Structure 1
Amino acid sequence: MLHIDWLPNKKDTLPLYRQIYAYIKHEIRSGNWPINSKLPAQRSLAAIFKVNRSTVQTAIDELMADGLLESKPGSGIWIANNTWSLFSSPEQIDWNFYVESSTYRPNLPLIQEINRAEFKQNIIRLGTGELAPDLLPHKELTAILQKTSGNIKSFGYEQPQGLLFLREQLCIHLRKNGINVSPRSILIVSGALQALQLICLGLLPKDSKILLENPSYLLSLPLFQSMQVDFAEVPLDSEGINLRTLAYQQKLKKAALLYTIPTFHNPTSILMSEQRRHDLLQLCRENQLPILEDDVYRDLWLDSPAPPPLKSMDQDGLVLYIGSLSKAVSPGLRIGWVVGPEPVIEKLADMKMQNDYGSSCLSQYAAAEWLASGFHENHLRRIRAALCIKRQTCLDVLTQHFQEIASWHIPAGGFYIWLKLKEPISLPKLFKMALAENILLNPGSIYDPLSNRHLRLSYSYASSIELRNALERLAAMIKELN
């Protein structure tokens, strides 16, 4: 898809169609828009440029006359040439062939649109899974970075497994949740997503099957299909992953791994009960099924601390454990970790060195100082209090405006409310209606392709005023579509 972030200047003396002509010609000549790329429809271009469709048509007619564009019947307008090709060999590199032939799949179009829209001015991000800017610990991190700048002995590469000081601090941090490991059993990664990539690429045979909850965050990421990994989905109930179905799936699918988010699940916020955790671990032990536990939301409990992680009950090296500072502290630090048996950690560390030669040493020092300073617990108390207020704002509006059209459960932590509509509607249409009113949604179809009745609402990013305003308008849109 061609990226357009330009508008013609309506105060300029140059006619609008000539400005559009010059812009498109520049993008083609510079190579930003390769040969054989398709232009958006004229109606869409007119909306993007905020001009009449006839203005766009005039600019396109001139570009076609110059031989830069061509019309393909029933298929739209395509880039046919660039000015270099008028003076050189007719054989041109078709970069679109390379793009489309890659084994690495692009994001879903809906997710690409969400990623772009998140940075629009005045947008209310009603689905974003991160802390609001005013909840990030700016003052504390600034102090830590100032202190760290004088303490760093080297700005070179760190050990393959990551900064030893950080791994030592993580051992102390993990011990609070019952996970007792040495620094040798920890790998520092650039966020939890890199951990998932390394594990799938480095530990799983080709064409492996991963069992996972449905819905699931992983279903929104085509990169795993790019790595020739297949998914077998297991439903959830109020206590977590359904063990009866899991046992059947394991025998049926011969899976290589179970991926689970037992604590404040993404996107449903379901908290797996302690008994279910014991039963799950026992079932996987009996079937020799490794578990990948994604625990990035653990610190974000709002009512009471969550049950112990699966890893704390693991006596057989069955569980690989992923944690991160992205959700509770700062996504910009890009610091996460994997805990597992030493041979596994050594393999993943070797792979990470091949990929990026280690996470940023500056971020690692800052993260280590953050954990060592005592800032973490004070910060968590502050954001829990703020998230409780925002959660209550959401629940109040839902009770007032959504009872006739949807159902939900009260999350005990994390960021999300998994809203289930009582009647199926067109989620793409709702998404576009909301976006037109500067409300950005995360439809449930991102996390379950068959869903046409769910929305992942997040109370973590928008302000309480924005949440109330956006949810009230969203209720009116849903009622209009019913």
Structure 2
Amino acid sequence: MFKSDWKPNKSSSVPLHKQITDYIKEKISNGEWTLGYKLPPQRTLAKVLEVNRSTVVTAYEELIAEGLIEGKSGSGTKVVNNTWNLLATTPPPDWNSYVSFGTHKPNLPTIHEINQAEFSPNIIRLGTGELSPHLIPSTSMKKVFHQLSNKEISYGYEEPKGLLPLREQIANYLKTIGIPASPSSILIVSGALQALQLISVGLLHRGSTVLTEKPSYLHSLNVFQSAGMHLVGIPLDKEGIQANLIQQYKKQQKAALLYTIPSFHNPTGTLMTLERRKQLLDICHQEQLPLIEDDVYRELWFDENPPKPIKAFDKHGLVLYLGSLSKSLSPGFRIGWIVGPEPVVEHLADIKMQTDYGSSSLSQWAAVEWLSSGLYYEHLHEVRQQLKTRRDFTLDTLNKYFSDIAVWEKPTGGFYIWLRLLPSLSMRRLFEMALTEGILLNPGNVYDNQADQYLRISYSFASLSNIENGLKRLSKIVKTIAK
């Protein structure tokens, strides 16, 4: 989705279409819109700039007449010239070709649209997987930073594995959930996503196959694919990933690694049972298949603690355990961790130093304060209660508006409800119609290309009034399409 900070001045004596042509010319002359850049469709630009479409049509026609842009049916309108520079110099490089052939793949188109639309004003975000601003403890955060201001802390780079006092605090926390880990086996990262990036480039070779749940959050990312990996999904049931299929899939796919979210799985909300966790670890040990346990939702349980992490039963160094404060405290904090064998952690720490020379020292010191003061555990108690209230409200709302058009399970923690629509309809059309109505969805097919009748509904972000308003209107859209 195209966005612009600029808007034409409607009180100016300069005609609106002339202001738009001047704006586009400036973008081209400054090198911001290079040769081959695809301009937004007329209707889109008109909506963003809050003018009539005819005004944009006139502006585009003038630019076409000047030879600066070219419109072709089916391929849109592109920049084809920047005359004032081309007359005097060698043509600039075709940056679009560089973008196309870069190693890291772009986001899936729908994910890109979601990322853009999330920042649109007044949008109702029914699928966003993060805490609402109202659930982020801003008062306590101010208190933490105030306390830091009175302490002697470092503001330079930290050692490769991260701030030692933070790793010590995380080691203490891990003991409470059954994981014995010394600070030397912990690496601080900028969230669990960076952990996956480090693993993809540091431990796997191009062409490797990664096994994961089907559906999986991994399918909404290109972090492994950009490193030349292949993702293969193993079906889920109510107890978690079907571990009895792992041997078959590993043999067929020559898999190098298995990735799982056992606690309040993204996107389905499934909680893997204790028996399934032990079975999964036993089979991975037999098959010598390393395991990534992504446990970022672990602390967001409602009525009872989830089973111990898979890592708690790992006596052979098979499991790389990922944790984070992004889901439980603040997404902008950017503090996560990897727990694993020391040689692996040291290797990943070396790669991280080559990448960013360490996570924010200020965020690391703040995390120490959160964990050592007890404030983090007080916050967890509060956020669990709030999320449970939100879950119950969302389930009641679904019962009110979706009981005849969808089915779902009741999650026992985390952020998500995996909603299966009963009418057969185009998910793309539903996504677009909802977006036009100011409702942003996370379609199931970004997590599994066969899950085209599913939606990931999140109760963690939108306000209760927006959840009800959004779901009520969404049910009407579904019924309109299904007619």
TM-score, normalised by the number of residues in structure 2: 0.97
What amino acid is aligned across from residue 393 of structure 2 in structure 1? Answer: T
Secondary structure of 1:151's counterpart equals coil
Deviation of 1:208 (Å): 0.7
Quick one: distance in 1 between partners of 2:428 and 2:72?
A: 28
Quick one: distance in 2 between partners of 1:26 and 1:119?
A: 25
- Does 2:415 match 1:415? yes
C-alpha distance 85-152 of structure 1, shift in aligned 2 (>3 A): same
Contact 2:104 2:226 in 1 (8 A): yes
Q: Unaligned regions of 5+ residues in structure 2, if any?
A: none
What amino acid is aligned across from residue 169 of structure 1 in structure 2? Answer: Q
Secondary structure of 1:200's counterpart equals helix
Q: Unaligned regions of 5+ residues in structure 1, if any?
A: none
Task: Report 1:13-412 matches (<5 A).
Answer: 13-72=13-72, 74-412=74-412
Deviation of 1:245 (Å): 2.2
Contact 2:200 2:223 in 1 (8 A): no
Task: Write out per-residue CA displacement over residues 8-30 of structure 1, whole angstroms, 9 at most, x where no aligned residue.
Answer: 23332221111111111111111
What amino acid is aligned across from residue 132 of structure 1 in structure 2? Answer: S
Secondary structure of 2:449's counterpart equals coil
Quick one: distance in 2 between partners of 1:186 and 1:233?
A: 29
Task: Write out per-residue CA displacement over residues 29-78 of structure 1, whole angstroms, 9 at most, x where no aligned residue.
Answer: 11111111122333333333333332222212221232211234653322
Number of the residue aligned with 1:471: 471
Deviation of 1:164 (Å): 0.4
Moved more, 79-88 or 453-462: 79-88
C-alpha distance 468-71 of structure 1, shift in aligned 2 (>3 A): closer
What amino acid is aligned across from residue 459 of structure 2 in structure 1? Answer: Y
Identity %: 54
Moved more, 87-96 or 286-295: 87-96
What amino acid is aligned across from residue 103 of structure 1 in structure 2? Answer: T
Quick one: distance in 2 between partners of 1:252 and 1:422?
A: 33
Contact 1:63 1:69 in 2 (8 A): yes
Quick one: distance in 1 between partners of 2:473 and 2:74?
A: 38
Quick one: distance in 2 between partners of 1:399 and 1:71?
A: 48
- Does 2:419 match 1:447? no
Contact 1:152 1:365 in 2 (8 A): no
Deviation of 1:222 (Å): 1.5
Contact 1:2 1:33 in 2 (8 A): no
Aligned residues: 482
Number of the residue aligned with 2:430: 430
Secondary structure of 1:301's counterpart equals coil
Contact 2:29 2:85 in 1 (8 A): no
What amino acid is aligned across from residue 50 of structure 1 in structure 2? Answer: E
Contact 1:320 1:338 in 2 (8 A): yes
Task: Write out per-residue CA displacement over residues 79-134 of structure 1, whole angstroms, 9 at most, x where no aligned residue.
Answer: 11124424422432211121112121111121111111111111111111111111
C-alpha distance 248-74 of structure 1, shift in aligned 2 (>3 A): closer
Quick one: distance in 1 between partners of 2:153 and 2:245?
A: 53
Deviation of 1:5 (Å): 4.0
Task: Write out per-residue CA displacement over residues 135-158 of structure 1, whole angstroms, 9 at most, x where no aligned residue.
Answer: 111111111111113324321111
Q: CA RMSD in A?
A: 1.5
Secondary structure of 1:468's counterpart equals helix
What amino acid is aligned across from residue 178 of structure 1 in structure 2? Answer: G
Quick one: distance in 2 between partners of 1:155 and 1:397?
A: 48
Quick one: distance in 2 between partners of 1:225 and 1:473?
A: 36
Quick one: distance in 2 between partners of 1:76 and 1:297?
A: 42
